[in-house]
Structure 1
Amino acid sequence: MILSRRSIILSGIGVAAAGALPGIAFAAADTAKRLVFIIQRGAADGLAIVAPVGDPAYAGARGALAEEAATGTKLEGMFALHPALTSTAGLYAAKQAHFAHAVATAYRDRSHFDGQNLLEGGGARPYGRDDGWVGRLLTLLPAAEREALAIAPAVPLALRGTLPVGTYAPSRLPQADADLIARLSALYADDTLLHPLWDSAVKTQELASDIGGNNGRNGADLGKLAASLMLPEDGARVMMVETGGWDTHSGQRGRLAAQLRGLDQLVAALQTGLGPAWNDTLVIVATEFGRTVEVNGTGGTDHGTASAAMLLGGGLAAGGKVSADWPGLAAAARYEGRDLKPTRSVESVISAAVAHHYALDPVKVTATLYPDA
């Protein structure tokens, strides 16, 4: 029997989420709920982040990367969490983290731009929509919960829709070199009006483009910034945070560890900054596609297909779990002989988590977030 994308989405985690909410009337109510979508631009390696160390083919395919993975926190089943994710391991132990593995969008080529467009737009094909799943989600929320903000130079596709949203960083200064930035910083140093705006733009650019820098402290600063923008009574209730640097074609071991350290500190700072509001916060971390099973000749991995997504927060329906219909990593089990094969849609993971978080009808959520499914 051939299944449509919609039937696949509705038959997966969305059904489980609906079953976990007996008696819910599935209608949005005024709440203090918060949602954060962290996109990992560049194709993050799910096989290193949530490593299938118990798969017989993993060690042989991954070599030194597998040795590193084996030192991480052991999760349920055959998986281990990357050792750089120490705070995230604590969330897992507290049942505030859920990892969904072998997931992907419907995209099966390997272009970053096309893959990110489909992840954000939630359409049936790249560039098939000019609005995004987060922007469409806002229409399901009460007016008091629609305040949305992106820490980004422009409104990302995921947040676009019929309702207004804002951005925190009006400019990323893409062509400016360090000398020019230093000169302009000096020029604005004594300007009481422009100096705070300039300083904020520069710092936000530095954080968003390099969360793994400064031994992960860039990520921590970005998390503090996000929390400060969400915690006030009139602050954002829905936020998107862009992170880059996940394209690890070479020297992956050190580069990915730095990125994950930054992500880990970002989430930890967000949790600390939100305080009790963390219990009403859902964080979704996802990437456009995964990376190859085999390591290449430069110690990196190339563009792949399936990856892992993270759900984090104080009110998860199934925290402390790894969910995966695991396809295996043997050569015959791989997608096109090279990639982790997708066995579940990332759309189903997102829609089910959102439906549970906001106590909304899962069918309506899926139809709104992914109308072309």
Structure 2
Amino acid sequence: MIDRRSLIGGGALGTLALFAPRIAWARAETDKRFVFIIQRGAADGLGTIAPVGDPGFAGARGPLAVDFDNAAKLDSMFALHPALAIVGGLYQRKQALFAHAIASPYRDRSHFDGQNVLETGGAGAYRLKDGWMNRMLGVIPSGEARAIAVASAVPMALRGSHEVSSYAPSSLPDASDDLLQRVTMLYEGDSQLHALWSEALNTRKLTGGLASDNGRNAAATGALAAKLLAAPAGARIAMIETGGWDTHAQQRGRLSTQLKGLDAMIGALQAGLGPLWADTMVLIATEFGRTVAVNGTGGTDHGTASSAMLLGGSVEGGRVISDWPGLGANALYDGRDLKPTMQLDAFIGGAVASHFETDPARTMMTLFPNTAPAPVVQGLLRA
């Protein structure tokens, strides 16, 4: 277990609290692992899993379509972004499934409101005061094991009536690089303090973006999550918060580096879990998608439908599930966005119910209590 005392080792190292990501713990007992990776900023589903078989794709996407000229095809319609090499390998081994033209009930384009709907499981922004992951803890078997969030703050998805303790960074301003270097030199002669300080600096790097340090920081975050999940009496449920997906300008390079970081995170998570990967499910989703057309700065604006991913050793992978609406002008939502044809709520409900073998109707009612009743997406796990 990680807590403030064990990490910083006492008053002399109080400054270390500046650099630790928030670790939130909640109760949930199960041998199966579940990880939710949120993509804050509206990740471009069309730029992640591209509908290269759609006759309107190349024309609508212009320069953003270039990355898929030689990309690996997933099927006759879709191709995966080349930066997702590890995820592509999981797809080939039938351990990765993608859902496209998918969206939450939210239909406006505010990041804050969209993320609130995604995390609370509400039918609209701020209608619920707790998160679907916290409510999920009341559906799956409960006990002494824990759930965690690795994030810069306790995410809305994990807040609620189920007990959650947290390890939070200090609210003080970030220390300068010069100060960090001076403290490093000060502790060089003390083996114990130097080791603790080095660990804190490494933890500080985990709060960086997915694109930073060529994906190594993202990989470190995945490795940390795996370590917490792999402990015999450790966490079974986890949420990892990622940002940087708002690609209004120069999207081609920025999205590629973001996806490379996400790929490294998934690879480190899988490697760290080892044989536990067989009973692990990883859900990756964003608050909404991006426009089909490219804007004047080589980016895309806030849209509606996007894509989601489901990864894990028992996932019925090697396929893209989608009721594809098309990219023709008459098929677009509001004349500009990919039209949603699949409910993200039903996808999440189906994933949770099948993974933990809970009743689908009760699972949907608990996770999405004020959304119109809908059947869960079936067949997400191997029988």
1:348 equivalenced with 2:334 (yes/no)? no
Q: What pairs up with 1:101-180 in 2 under 5 angstroms?
A: 101-144=100-143, 147-167=146-166, 170-171=169-170, 175-180=174-179
Partner of 1:272: 271
Please state how far the C-alpha of 1:115 moved relative to its aligned partner.
Answer: 0.6
> Relative to structure 1, is the Cα distance of residues 249 and 63 closer, same or farther in structure 2, using a 3 angstrom cutoff?
same
Measured in 2, the distance between the counterparts of 1:298 and 1:171 equals: 37
Matched residue SS, 2:303: coil
Counterparts of 1:367 and 1:143, CA distance in 2: 18
Of 343, 362, 369 in structure 1, the residue corresponding to residue 367 of structure 2 is 369
Q: Is the 8 A contact 2:68 2:81 kept in 1?
A: yes
How far apart, in 2, do the equivalents of 1:229 and 1:174 lie? 28
Q: Match of 2:116, as an amino acid?
A: N
Shift of 1:203: 3.7
Q: Distance in 2 between matches of 1:154 and 1:196?
A: 26
1:34 aligns to what?
A: 33
Tell me the secondary structure at the aligned position of residue 348 of structure 1: helix
Contact 2:290 2:337 in 1 (8 A): yes
Aligned to 1:64: 63
In the TM superposition, residue 154 of structure 1 has moved relative to its aligned partner by 2.7
Residue pairs, 1:158-237, within 5 angstroms = 158-167=157-166, 170-171=169-170, 175-183=174-182, 202-237=201-236
Residues 147 and 235 in structure 1, CA contact (< 8 A), matched pair in contact too: yes
Unaligned runs of 5+ in 1: 1-28
Q: Secondary structure at the match of 1:100?
A: strand
Question: Partner amino acid for 2:98?
Answer: F
Cα shift at 1:295: 0.8
Query: What CA deviation, in whole Å up to 9, does each residue of 1:174-224 have, x standing for no partner?
Result: 655444554555566678887767655554443333122222112211111
Q: 2:357 aligns with which of 352, 356, 359?
A: 359
Range 251-260 or range 188-197, more displaced: 188-197
**In structure 2, distance between residues paired with 1:159 and 1:53:** 37
More displaced 10-residue stretch of structure 1: 264-273 or 71-80: 71-80
The residue aligned with 2:332 is 334
Letter in 1 for 2:95: Q
What pairs with 1:241-320 in structure 2 (closer than 5 Å)?
241-316=240-315, 318-320=316-318
Deviation at 1:58, TM superposition (A): 0.6
SS in 1 for 2:274: helix
Q: Distance in 2 between matches of 1:133 and 1:275?
A: 28
Give, as a single letter, the amino acid of the residue that structure 2 aligns with 1:127. Y
Q: What secondary structure is seen at the aligned counterpart in 2 of 1:74? A: coil
1:29-86 CA distance string (max 9 Å, x none): 9741001000001110000100001111110011121121232221123000000000
Could you state the TM-score of these two structures normalised by the residue count of structure 2? 0.84
Query: What is the rounded CA distance, in whole Å, between the counterparts of 1:152 and 1:188 in structure 2?
Result: 28
Question: So what's the TM-score if we normalise by structure 1?
Answer: 0.86
For the residue of structure 2 that corresponds to 1:248, the secondary structure is coil
Give the CA deviation at 1:143. Answer: 2.4
Q: 2:54: which partner in 1?
A: 55
Native 8 Å contact 1:150 1:168 kept in 2: no
* Contact 1:209–1:243 (8 Å) recurs in 2: no
2: CA distance between counterparts of 1:172 and 1:265?
Answer: 29
Cα distance in 2 for residues equivalent to 1:163 and 1:269: 29
Provide the C-alpha distance between the structure 2 equivalents of 1:134 and 1:79, rounded to a whole number of angstroms.
30
Give the partner amino acid of 1:131.
D
Please say if residues 33 and 281 of structure 2, whose CA atoms lie closer than 8 Å, have aligned partners that are also in contact.
yes
Distance 1:98 1:59 in 2: 24
Q: Deviations over 1:290-334 (max 9, x none)?
A: 111011111111111110000000011x31110111111111111
The SS at the match of 2:235 is: coil
Q: Distance in 1 between matches of 2:338 and 2:201?
A: 38
* Letter aligned with residue 349 of structure 1: F
Q: Which stretch of the first structure deviates more once superposed, 193-202 or 234-243?
A: 193-202
Distance change >3 Å, CA 276–CA 58, structure 1 → 2:
same
2:317 is aligned with what amino acid?
Answer: G
Please give the alpha-carbon distance, in whole angstroms, between the structure 1 residues aligned to 2:177 and 2:37: 27
Measure, in 1, the Cα distance between the counterparts of 2:115 and 2:73: 30
Q: Structure 2 stretches of 5 or more lacking a match?
A: 1-27, 372-383
How far apart in 1 are the matches of 2:47 and 2:194? 41
Asked whether the 8 Å contact 1:152–1:167 carries over to 2, the reply is no
Whole-Å separation in 2 of the counterparts to 1:174 and 1:122: 33
The answer to whether the Cα contact below 8 Å between 2:331 and 2:339 also exists between their aligned partners in 1 is yes
SS state at 2:207 partner: helix
**SS of the residue 1:261 aligns to:** helix
The aligned runs of 1:9-48 (5 Å cut-off) are 31-48=30-47
SS at structure 2 position matched to 1:259: helix
Helix, strand or coil for the counterpart of 2:252? helix
Quote the residue 2:322 is aligned against. Answer: 324
C-alpha contact 1:38 1:285 (8 A) present in aligned 2: yes
What is aligned with 2:19? none
